[in-house]
Amino acid sequence: AVIKASSVLISSDVGGLKISAGNQVSGKVVSIRTDAVMGEVILDIGGGDTLSATVTAGGALSLGVLEGDAACAIIDASNVIIGVE
């Protein structure tokens, strides 16, 4: 699957989200990077795969998660492209 990083939302509420987006992927935060304006959160989603989300710097900080914490990526189905080999 190909997903543009700016189309991925991150939540620190892993268990009880009730939202209209059907694609929710839980993982562990492996990296949080921010500059003055933008931020990037990278989740380890298992099997050697990671998922990257581009968020505002304020959004990254307001999540309240640290490297090693659990988090959930939320992706609307219209933002996912599936490819096959």
**Vertex 38 angle, CA 32 and 44, to 5°:** 30
Query: What pTM does this model have?
Result: 0.82
For residues 24 and 10, the answer to whether their CB atoms sit within 8 Å is no
pLDDT in tens, 62-83: 888 899 999 999 888 888 899 8
- Between vectors from CA 60 to CA 70 and to CA 64, what angle results, nearest 5°? 50
pLDDT, tens digit, 9 for 90 and up, residues 37-55: 999 999 999 999 999 999 9
